[in-house]
Amino acid sequence: MLFRKSHDLPTAETALPGRSTPLPTDEVHFVTGRSLKGPHPDGIEAAIFGMGCFWGVERKFWTLPGVWVTAVGYSGGITPNPTYEETCTGLTGQAEVVQVVFNPGEISYAELLKVFWEGHDPTQGMRQGNDVGSTYRSAIYYLNDDQKAQAEASRDAYQSALAKAGRGEITTEIAPAGPFYYAEGYHQGYLAKNPAGYCGIGGTGVVCPIGVGVEA
């Protein structure tokens, strides 16, 4: 049962119990040397995105000018402090996500959304390419009303672009952010630690019309 992958999100009754204590993880980012958990400078904001396997997703964001630090983890589900193995079963409800801590004076949330939409295929439901299961679903977990409005507007703009390109309907979950649970240390900065490591994400090739229904 533990190693069964599920496409269906669990209920409070069927979810794995998890644990009350956080998992051990890195203290600083492997690439930038900045603290994963803070404190961060004044004015810094955060965003949370799920785009499939978080190894490749994190690299897309840590390379962007204006991004202070990134961290991979689990969010959007029920089980507290889940392990990677537990999350992969689909029985935690959690998605693999990246927390992007950024300076809005250098890079806007709208620009992060553009990277999000173009960096994966948001039409695949409970999968991303060959990675199958609810843990790999496309998701935006917003931290305030402004992020919600921008996420929804960018979704509508990108859906129009996808439709013109003959692509399907967006299945991305847009929901308020719940707890973000840091993943185990070996997942943090994974593709910097393992340059030949697996990266399973890929976009549709359709450009996100940032500025169309989205304030840059």
Active site residues: 53
As a whole number of angstroms, the distance between CA 165 and CA 214 comes to 20
Beta strands 173-176 and 138-142: pairing type? parallel
As a whole number of angstroms, the distance between CA 82 and CA 79 comes to 6
CA atoms within 13 A on the CB side of 108: 11
Coil/strand/helix, residue 48: strand
As a whole number of angstroms, the distance between CA 106 and CA 45 comes to 11
Q: What distance separates the 2 farthest-apart alpha carbons in the chain?
A: 48
DSSP state of 67: E
DSSP state of 28: B
As a whole number of angstroms, the distance between CA 121 and CA 57 comes to 12
Residue 143, burial from CB neighbour count under 10 angstroms (0-12, 13-18, 19+): middle
